[in-house]
Structure 1
């Protein structure tokens, strides 16, 4: 019997291409609606068309790119209702996790470290805090110790980071508010106040959600303009 030679694509190359293209999307070097063909990607990275195709398919599956009716894949363009759906889905998941962590009175060190990094950047006048902001929330999710919960949250991660990058790039949401609300969330969890943590999380996420919806052409809801309760001294 004639031996069949099977062709394979090196996964690490695909991973590297996918990660680099994601970083370019987050940095808006590849703006919303930008077309990416197999030929473009192959030429950009000097890789085989089959590798470029696999990378594009991964990016489509992870909602970094969209492709309709077998047409050219394009960088996702989020609208106001997309943002609201992403943030509400995020809130449902995070709220339950915070309640569970409050039962344990447990806050991971990684969350405190991430918030301290945001504070340090803010002291330098830096608004680009997407990565440590996301690490704060991801640390809380991961500390629950549920691989499936972390996986579900991870599936939202890129869309959330893209939302945050668009909002913080407009400098409409001060890192001062983010830092204060993160610190208060951690304190409420350690105090075992599940309801308080869930309520503050809703305030934290809904403000960002409506500010972002407004920046993308929607009509922002009243949550966008509510002052942060975390900046009001606790009696």
Structure 2
């Protein structure tokens, strides 16, 4: 039993490092990742390397067809739209449900305060608390399956967020202020208004990223903040 726990720990550690390398751009879109490369880099056996790769395939960060080498996923404009719309469907309903009870998650408040305190730094400095803000809202509903569904998107969502921040498409103050307003709307029981602001919040990021990737941006890209 102890051996199995150690093996899982190694797989998790390698997967975590590979995940971070993808998010930071060390492993770029379309880059191949073979079991031999991973085994050599981390000095582990091929089965361990394979398990680490399969974990990231399951998270949507790597793509691998049958009997093919894994590659870092390549996100195009339509993929970005699919990812953002999928999360918007889940998050919008979650906000409405939280607002019914006027339940503001403490973890979301804390994550947003971290965004407010950021002055500068690497893209991931913003992405981590931003992601925790949204995850906290999802988890606050207390539905295991909803949390699981949302987490199936998290890898791809993080990739989009890192790209948004790397390209300086959104200002930290705007992110913080709209998060804060969403929490205030939840606290006052205004679920529909919170969901509407979320749609604007995500839609602006989505369409600006689409444009940066060579696609045609929708009108959401030019949306002014309703807080101005």
Q: Distance in 1 between matches of 2:135 and 2:104?
A: 12
Map of 1:4 onto structure 2: none
Give SS of 1:74's match. Answer: strand
Say if 2:34 and 2:69, in contact at 8 Å, map to a contact too: yes
Q: Distance in 1 between matches of 2:47 and 2:195?
A: 46
Map of 1:125 onto structure 2: 120
Match of 1:150 among 147, 152, 158: 147
TM-score, normalisation: structure 1: 0.92
Match of 2:37 among 35, 40, 44: 40
Match of 2:72 among 65, 70, 75: 75
Q: Distance in 1 between matches of 2:220 and 2:122?
A: 21
Cα deviation for residue 214 of structure 1 reads 1.0
Deviations 1:94-117 (A, max 9, x none): 000000000010111111111110
Cα deviation for residue 55 of structure 1 reads 1.1
Supply the RMSD in Å over aligned alpha carbons. Answer: 1.4
Deviations 1:118-157 (A, max 9, x none): 0111xx2346300000000100111111111111111111
Stretch deviating more after TM superposition (131-140 or 55-64): 55-64
Map of 2:213 onto structure 1: 216
Q: Distance in 1 between matches of 2:54 and 2:135?
A: 25
Structure 2: 5+ residue stretches without partners: none
Give SS of 1:125's match. Answer: coil
Structure 1: 5+ residue stretches without partners: 1-6
TM-score, normalisation: structure 2: 0.94
Map of 1:89 onto structure 2: 86
Q: Distance in 1 between matches of 2:58 and 2:184?
A: 37
Match of 1:49 among 46, 50, 59: 46
Give SS of 2:95's match. Answer: helix
Say if 2:169 and 2:205, in contact at 8 Å, map to a contact too: no
Rg comparison, structure with higher value: 1
Q: Distance in 1 between matches of 2:62 and 2:108?
A: 30
1:10 equivalent to 2:7? Answer yes
1:187 equivalent to 2:184? Answer yes
Give SS of 2:137's match. Answer: helix
Map of 1:31 onto structure 2: 28
Map of 1:3 onto structure 2: none
Match of 2:193 among 188, 192, 196: 196
Say if 2:60 and 2:73, in contact at 8 Å, map to a contact too: yes
Q: Distance in 1 between matches of 2:122 and 2:223?
A: 21
Segments ≥4 residues shifted beyond 3 Å = none
Structure 1 pair 214/193, CA: closer, same or farther in 2 (3 Å)?
A: same
Deviations 1:78-100 (A, max 9, x none): 00000000000000000000000
